[in-house]
Amino acid sequence: MLLRGRVGWITGASRGIGRAAAIEATRHGARLILLARSQERLEETARRVEKEGGVQPKIIVCDLSDETALKAAFRDVHEYTRQLDFLVNNAGILRDAMIGMISSKQISEVLQTNLVPLIQILQFAARIMMASKSGSIINIASIIGRSGNEGQVVYGASKAGVIGVTKSAARELAPYGIRVNAIAPGVIATDMIANIPEPKKLELLRSIKMGRLGQPEEVAQVICMLASDYTSYVTGQVLGVDGGMWL
Amino acid sequence: MQEQNLIESESELKLRRAFANALNMSEKSVNETLLYASTPGWDSVAHMALIATLDSTFDIMLDTDDVLDLSSYPKAREILRKYGVQF
């Protein structure tokens, strides 16, 4: 039970890594606030979380690209709790396009989902955490933010941005006892990669030293470790969870 | 009326204490002339500590626009009034 008595907020919690993180964290005793766009999927995750951990999570349906909705979400969290021990900034979207085919709308959509709200949520969480002079913020970046990839200029920019945010925030928040780290998953078996064509998938597999896709649960375990006191002296790091893809 | 005065003085006391704690100064030194980025100790780092202190002291959540706008002691009082704090 790494997170007994802890309160955590997970964005993008309705599926993939966020959902797995919610299930893993509740198994470790955390009380959770779960945020996602899809009410139906979020409720399904909440039911699973309650079944696993015995505690009903607080759910917030919110499109993070909507600033007004995000502010309402902050008020909602503030009304629900004055304690926040960890934050998992996981929400994100993937929109691929080759150079020359990238629209302004696409750039705006990706940055307004993957990067801008991440900074706003981090600011909000840090304010709550400052009061207790402790906390752990875990930003979900991507291997693409470190190494880049064809067709992923915008996604890569957003995830490299997440890494930049992590390092700067870690420096600023360390005096308050707040740790900020990023996880850079490799190719994880989630809906996000479901539409990748088979030949491309095979190519990806060949580039993974462990020769297989990662599972969301394998990222979730690292999230819980970073949220816990097992990493109490770790901040400003980008931890690859990629089966040796980035070596 | 007496009760009203009591509420007002309590809020003022809380505000003074919040400033003193966040800016690491004595309560006596807290006055109407305190200015962000001019008063020694009130830098951007201390500002965030002040905001966190105000949030918890008055059990509110200041909006980011108000965080940026909170540039003096009197301004803090003015902003807090928007959140229902009586002085």
Q: What is the model's pLDDT at position A131?
A: 85
Distance of CA A99 to the CA centre of its chain: 27
* Closest by Cα among A121, A44, A114 to A77: A121
Closest CA–CA distance from residue B3 to any residue of chain A (Å): 27
Name the residue among A78, A130, A175 with its Cβ closest to that of B61. Answer: A78
Q: Which of A130, A173, A178 is the best mutation test for B, with the most CBs of B within 10 A? A: A130
Distance CA A100, CA A218 (A): 36
Would you say A163 and A141 are in contact if contact means Cβ atoms under 8 Å apart? yes
CB contact under 8 A, B53 and A131: yes
Residue B74 DSSP symbol: H
CATH 2.60.40.10 fits A7-238, yes or no: no
Q: Is residue B22 part of a domain?
A: yes
| Nearest one of A217, A208, A202 to A242, comparing CA atoms | A208
Q: Across the interface, do A131 and B64 touch by the CB < 8 Å criterion?
A: no
One-letter amino acid at A146 equals R
Q: How many domains does chain B have?
A: 1
Q: How confident is the model at residue B7 (pLDDT cuts 50, 70, 90)?
A: low
Closest Cα in chain B, distance from residue A173 (Å): 9
Pick from A75, A120, A130: CB nearest B61: A75
The Cα–Cα gap between A25 and A225 comes to: 10
List chain A residues with CB under 8 Å of B56.
82, 131
Looking at every residue in chain A, the average pLDDT score rounds to 95
Q: Which of A155, A176, A230, A233 is catalytic?
A: A155
Q: What is the pLDDT of residue B3?
A: 56
**pLDDT score for B9:** 82
Candidates A127, A132, A176, partner chain B, best to mutate (most B CBs within 10 A)? A127
Q: Is residue B48 part of a domain?
A: yes
The predicted-structure confidence for A53-93, as pLDDT tens digits, reads as follows 889 999 999 999 998 999 999 989 998 998 999 999 999 99
b (16+ CB within 10 A) / e for A135-174: bbbbbbbbbbbbeeeeebbbbbbbbbbbbebbeebbeebe
* Tokens linked to A34: 């779960």
Cβ partners under 8 Å of residue A224, min gap 6: A2, A3, A21, A24, A25, A28
pLDDT of residue B5: 56
Segment B80-85 shows an average pLDDT of 95
Reply yes or no on whether the pLDDT at A3 is more than 60: yes
Please give the helix or strand (H or E) that residue A132 lies within, else none: helix A116-132
Q: How is chain A split into domains, by residue range? A: 7-238
Residues of B with CB under 8 A from a CB of A: 45, 48-49, 51-53, 55-56, 59, 61, 63-64
| B18 falls within a domain | yes
CA distance B43 to A88: 29
**pLDDT given for residue B2 in this prediction:** 54
Distance from CA of A97 to the nearest CA of B (A): 34
Query: Between chains, do B64 and A130 touch, taking CB under 8 Å as contact?
Result: no
- Model confidence at B4, pLDDT cuts 50, 70, 90, reads low
Pick from B56, B62, B63, B65 the residue to mutate for testing the A interface (most A CBs within 10 Å).
Answer: B56
Higher model confidence: residue A191 or residue B74?
Answer: B74
3-state class (DSSP) for residue A74: helix
> pLDDT by residue (tens digit) across A180-227?
999 999 999 998 788 788 888 888 899 999 999 999 999 999 999 999
Q: Does residue B87 sit within a domain?
A: no
- Across the interface, do B56 and A175 touch by the CB < 8 Å criterion? no
B70 inside domain? yes
User: Which residue of chain B has the CA closest to A175?
Assistant: B45
Answer whether A131 touches B (CB < 8 Å).
yes
Quick count: other Cβ atoms within 10 Å of Cβ B59? 11
Instruction: Give the pLDDT band of residue A111 (cuts 50, 70, 90).
Output: very high
What value does the mean pLDDT take over residues A120-138? 93
Q: Give the torsion sign (CA, A61, A67, A68, A70).
A: positive
Q: Which pTM was predicted?
A: 0.90
**The dihedral sign for the CA sequence B59, B64, B65, B71:** positive
Any catalytic annotation for residue A230? no
Contact B61 A74 (CB under 8 A): yes
Residue span of the structural domain in which B52 resides: 2-82
The rounded distance, in Å, linking the Cα atoms of B83 and B61 is 9
Domain holding B12: CATH number?
1.10.1200.10
Contact (CB, 8 A) for B64 and B46 = no
pLDDT at B73: 97
Residue B68 lies in a domain: yes
Quote the pLDDT of residue A196. 81
Which chain A residues contact residue B66 at CB under 8 A? none
Enter the ipTM.
0.73
Of A74, A120, A130, the CB nearest to B48: A130
